[in-house]
């Protein structure tokens, strides 16, 4: 009798596995695989350790029963998440959803989820993705919205004409005082540059357009009479 023996150096493979494991364990938020069976049942074949820091849930609490993760959703956002999952499963599309998470023992957070699907031979679906904390960005967006609303309130009620331009010189905003002063509806002024539409004489319009370009290019204030 003879015995045939073969060997293979697995050092590189094991090193790669260790690096990947380390990378996944240190990703902000957590990495996951979400499975949907042909019968419509959802489960998590894999979640990275980051789920505990973000959600307060251990890896062994997530698996075939995703009730623990569903309970983690903010009640107002849970229906939207369920709809997004159903639509992504029906159309076999990527997941990209933002929602709040809330637990009695943790502060409310915004999270963002992104995942890419793949079909399984038996009719199931498998998404691979990441969930990360989006609280800081959402808070900044809310603050910017609040400041924009404050500006709009002040500008709308100012007796002085106020205009906001983009880099191309188009009017992004003008207040009622300007529309009243020139006798033109606000809608006729918005979205157009001074060259495209101006209620002023041609020479004045050209000088004002040049001033707007100068201020945009230099970042320095300017004036014209």
pLDDT, tens only, 150-174? 988 999 999 998 999 998 889 999 9
166, 133, 138, 182: which is closest to 27 by C-alpha?
133
Residues 77-126 pLDDT 10s: 989 998 998 899 889 999 999 999 887 677 788 999 999 999 988 889 99
| Residue 199 dihedral angles phi and psi, to the nearest 5° | -80, 0
């Amino acid at each position: 009798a003879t015995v045939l023996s073969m060997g293979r150096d697995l050092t590189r493979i094991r090193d790669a596995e260790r690096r990947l494991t380390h990378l996944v364990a240190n990703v902000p938020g957590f990495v996951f695989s979400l499975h949907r069976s042909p019968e419509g049942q959802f489960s998590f074949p894999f979640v990275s350790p980051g789920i505990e820091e973000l959600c307060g849930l251990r890896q062994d609490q997530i698996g075939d029963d995703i009730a623990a993760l569903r309970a983690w959703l903010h009640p107002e956002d849970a229906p939207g998440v369920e709809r997004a999952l159903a639509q992504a499963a029906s159309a076999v599309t990527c997941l990209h959803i933002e929602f709040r998470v809330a637990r009695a023992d943790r502060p409310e957070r915004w999270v963002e989820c992104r995942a890419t699907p793949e079909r399984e031979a038996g009719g199931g679906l498998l998404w691979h993705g990441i969930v990360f904390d989006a609280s800081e960005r959402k808070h900044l967006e809310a603050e910017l919205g609040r400041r924009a609303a404050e500006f709009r309130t002040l500008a709308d009620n100012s007796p002085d004409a106020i205009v906001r331009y983009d880099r191309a010189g188009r009017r992004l905003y003008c207040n009622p005082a300007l529309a009243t002063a020139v006798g033109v509806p606000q809608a006729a002024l918005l979205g157009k540059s001074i060259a495209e539409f101006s209620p002023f004489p041609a020479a004045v319009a050209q000088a004002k357009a040049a001033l707007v370009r100068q201020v945009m290019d230099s970042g320095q204030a300017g004036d014209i009479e």
